[in-house]
Amino acid sequence: MSIDSHRSRRRLGSTAGSAEYFHIGAVPGTERLPFAHKVMVENLLRHEDGDLVTEADIRAVAEGRTGSHEIAFHPSRVFLHDTNGVPVLTDLAALRDAVAEHGGNPAAVDGVIPAELTVDHSVSTDFFARPDAPELNVRREYERNAERYRFLKWGQQALGTLKVVPPGAGIMHQINVEHLARVVEVRDGLAFPDTVAGTDSHTTMVNGLSVLAWGVGGIEAEAAMLGQPVSLLIPPVVGVELVGELRPGVTATDLVLTVTERMRRLGVVGRIVEFFGAGVGSTGIATRCTLANMSPEFGSTSAIFPVDGRTLDFLRLTGRHEDHVRLVEAYAKEQGLWHDPDHRPRFDETLVVDLGEITPSLAGPRRPQDRIDLAGTGEAVRGALAGLGREEETGGDGPRDGAVAIAAITSCTNTSNPAVMVAAGLLARNAVRRGLRVEPWVKTSLAPGSRVVVDYLERAGLMRDLEQLGFGLVGFGCMTCIGNSGALVPETAAAVEENGLVVASVTSGNRNFDGRINNDVALNFLASPPLVVAFALAGTADADLTADPLGTDPDGKPVMLADLWPTEAEIEAVVSRSIEPSMYTEVYRTLFDGDENWQGLTAPEGARFAWDPDSVYLRRPPFLDLAAERGAAEGAAHRDIVGARALQVLGDSVTTDHLCPAGRIPSESAAGRFLRERGVRVRDLNTYASRRGNWQVMKLGGLANPGLRNGMTPGLPGGKAVDLGPDGDERTVDDVHVIADRHRDRGQPLLIIGGREYGTGSSRDWAAKVTSLLGVRAVLAESFERIHRSNLVGMGVLALQFEDGDSARGLGLTGEEEYAVTGLEGRDEVPERLSVTARHLGTGRVTEFTVRARLDTSREQLYYRHGGLLPYILHRALSAPGEGRG
């Protein structure tokens, strides 16, 4: 119960009934706060207890003390997906075991706030361009993942607040926007903003529906589920004023890629982006959600829109109850959360985006922020090929360098937007009518994030046209976007393997990092759904689709993209007549039921999970034991890190995909060999993402992305490291895990040295977990992405940031040094600055420099003191009066 020092508790009356709420306006100075900060003020008012949340915290937000004052934020719910949700549950199951082994009650480790888990990251595009592809892909999904799904069903019965959305329903973020999101929550007679901590970085998609949400690592999600707050410094808010309207032929995807480019250039890591101004009113919810979905590609914490009439219209369109819609309106207006186009909140920084200046765009070939004009695609491909030493085209009538190997309409980012999906369908119809076909080396697929998408495409009569071009339904899930693209067309795969062919993917997804889409695809582009169809027709990314034909019709006449592109009036007419609320209510009526596959799965019961020692999917994680081995304990002072060696020296923009691959497990990789030795068939190796419940597999896959470049092993693909021997007089190159184990056996801690934007991309906590498993005690980088830095701390790994202007290159660090990180010894808290001494093992040259310890909040200090968040939770569970002991 809040102590409510501002006497802000009021009663809200509406035509839908009444509820109590905490009035934001009771706090002086909140009138000009950004929407996001108002939501934070309400959260603090509701949880004010004089300890975790104080009146000073509330005042700090109201006064705009961003970037310096720490607050404890309590999300109203937690949102997970299966590939991050499984390791969350394995951690919680291990915590229950540990509590029981200490004589406590394992059921004391239980959910406190609602948590929803959607199974959407596991289905792969094994079958495509055939009418039975969805059925066959689902069958293969259950063959591979039934053990994991039984475990999820165990978790649902064991944890009191967890609900699981079974496979086949769609992508978590689209389901969230179309059905689960409340906008305003009412619980126990109290109304408050719906806020979400999600284990996927694209949890931000629901920001487009005015829900403050962001991605966290699985270990933070575990803490939130168990009632712990998310600790953060009050984030600065960048106001983005939208003016004008998009021109005909320009899509929401083009807008998103342009904003991503501008935000990365501005630098918004650790900030919230908030849209305001007259252009907000001309931006529909689908476009808002497409923008918000890409927030992690901006680098921002969230990318949010305030509530307005379009919010209410969308709630009605998607079948939300009218009483709730009225409550949302009344609450938003009463709390000052309703958008006023003439109001200018007090932002930390502002910039203007003129919608009328946006042009058709793609992003690639390796990062979402690398936007290119549509006309410049071929030039970008040729530049990338030259950088790879591929200047000669190969092949005759088959695929050549730059050929499109994968064309996938996929991902919640764009399949949530009816306008771009209908545009793709209409372009396909026009192409079919002109007699065009997709080149045979292109693997095509349609994987929407919601079943409603297929309903409205069928009602519009567009599915058959997409199917004729190979864009038939392959399933409902992340699929190609997350790396579950399946094998390439055999002809293409053979050309890649035998000739070193460099091929491309064009997807409507949100990420195109090295090795993410497919291990054999080097060039990856993000584009709108209609452009995905267009590039599939062209068969190559080495083209200017504004000037080059997509193909020729039966009469030999060239067909241009402009000949096929539908008009805005055509798109709007199809959308308006093809979508109605009953479609959403029918699809989501049985959301939690699952199909006969799910219903037929038997699951274990009981408070503790019975681990199978022969399982290749689920193994009890060792993180609690690892923390104990390192000597972390309540009351123990910190110790310096001495005698450390470098495991990797990395460059800029190292992603969590580099650190912990998510895609398919190659049969000859260390993880592939490990699984095959245990009887797993090659076709069943599955993906790294699906194996996150097995720490042994994940350790073998750590730092093993072929696209990762270790400065200590020049010319070699990722996954390799150097052992310089006990005295620095040897040089052995081997797999990362082999070298890491040698250092562990000698008692030598390890470091990773990185550049700018270390840990970009996905929120996957396994990128930090595998870092810890490999024996890495600290990561030194020029800057960190927010979520990965937090995950490192949560795993007991010290995040150290070079002083401004310093870098490994500038300091002459090659990795062939012995390191000492000092200033920790005997301290109860890690100081802001630490000293590092690097002694070159060959010459004896010594380099000394200081670094910033990136423990940004007192709670992070607490977690690090215990050796990580999991040991801290164990300590809490065992020490809580009346709870830890059974």
- pLDDT score recorded for residue 886: 30
pLDDT, average across residues 39-64: 96
Picking from 201, 291, 204, the residue whose alpha carbon sits closest to that of residue 242 is: 291
Q: Percent of the chain beyond pLDDT 90?
A: 84
For 117-135, the pLDDT digits (tens) are 999 988 889 999 999 999 9
497: exposed, middle or buried (C-beta count within 10 Å: 0-12, 13-18, 19+)?
exposed
For 313-358, the pLDDT digits (tens) are 999 999 999 999 999 999 999 999 999 999 999 999 999 999 999 9
- What's the rounded Cα separation, in Å, for the pair 410 and 268? 27
For 396-454, the pLDDT digits (tens) are 577 899 999 999 999 998 999 999 999 999 999 999 999 999 999 999 999 999 999 99
pLDDT band with cut points at 50, 70 and 90 for residue 393? low
C-alpha distance from residue 571 to each of 355, 533, 617 (Å)? 19, 16, 45
- pLDDT score recorded for residue 45: 98
- pLDDT score recorded for residue 761: 79
Name the percent of the chain in helix, strand, coil, to the closest 5. 35, 20, 45
For 697-727, the pLDDT digits (tens) are 999 999 999 889 999 999 999 999 999 999 8
pLDDT, average across residues 217-239: 92
pLDDT band with cut points at 50, 70 and 90 for residue 58? very high
- What's the rounded Cα separation, in Å, for the pair 689 and 83? 5
CATH dotted code for 635-661+705-865: 3.20.19.10
| Paired residues of 846 in beta bridges | 839
User: Could you say which architecture CATH assigns to the domain 361-588?
Assistant: 2-Layer Sandwich (3.30)
- What's the rounded Cα separation, in Å, for the pair 674 and 618? 15
pLDDT band with cut points at 50, 70 and 90 for residue 881? low
For 530-578, the pLDDT digits (tens) are 999 999 999 999 999 999 999 999 999 999 999 999 999 999 999 999 9
Among 289-298, 392-401, 809-818, 819-828, the range scoring the smallest mean pLDDT is: 392-401
Pairing type for strands 190-193 and 195-198 reads unpaired
Per-domain boundaries in the chain: 9-67, 361-588, 635-661+705-865, 662-701
- What's the rounded Cα separation, in Å, for the pair 378 and 402? 9
Whether the per-residue pLDDT at 637 is higher than 90: the answer is no
3-class DSSP state of 201:
helix
Cβ atoms 618, 611 nearer than 8 A: yes
- What's the rounded Cα separation, in Å, for the pair 373 and 377? 7
- pLDDT score recorded for residue 689: 87
Angle at alpha carbon of residue 330, lines to 325 and 335, rounded to 5° = 125
- pLDDT score recorded for residue 883: 45
pLDDT, average across residues 151-168: 95
The mean pLDDT value of the chain amounts to 93
| Paired residues of 414 in beta bridges | none
- What's the rounded Cα separation, in Å, for the pair 719 and 518? 17
Whether the per-residue pLDDT at 791 is higher than 80: the answer is yes
| Backbone dihedral angles phi then psi of residue 363, each to the nearest 5 degrees | -135, 135
- pLDDT score recorded for residue 885: 32
Cβ neighbours, 10 Å, residue 304:
29
| Backbone dihedral angles phi then psi of residue 349, each to the nearest 5 degrees | -160, 150
- pLDDT score recorded for residue 834: 98
- pLDDT score recorded for residue 884: 38
- What is the maximum span of the chain, computed from C-alpha positions, in angstroms? 82
H helices of 267-308, where? 285-293, 295-298
pLDDT, average across residues 280-303: 94
Element (H, E) at 272: strand 272-276
Preceding peptide of 365 cis, ω within 30°: yes
- What's the rounded Cα separation, in Å, for the pair 460 and 414? 18
259: exposed, middle or buried (C-beta count within 10 Å: 0-12, 13-18, 19+)?
buried
Picking from 514, 483, 495, 436, the residue whose alpha carbon sits closest to that of residue 123 is: 483
For 573-631, the pLDDT digits (tens) are 999 999 999 999 999 999 999 999 999 999 999 999 999 999 999 999 999 988 777 76
Picking from 61, 6, 26, 43, the residue whose alpha carbon sits closest to that of residue 346 is: 61
For 823-848, the pLDDT digits (tens) are 999 999 999 999 999 999 989 999 99
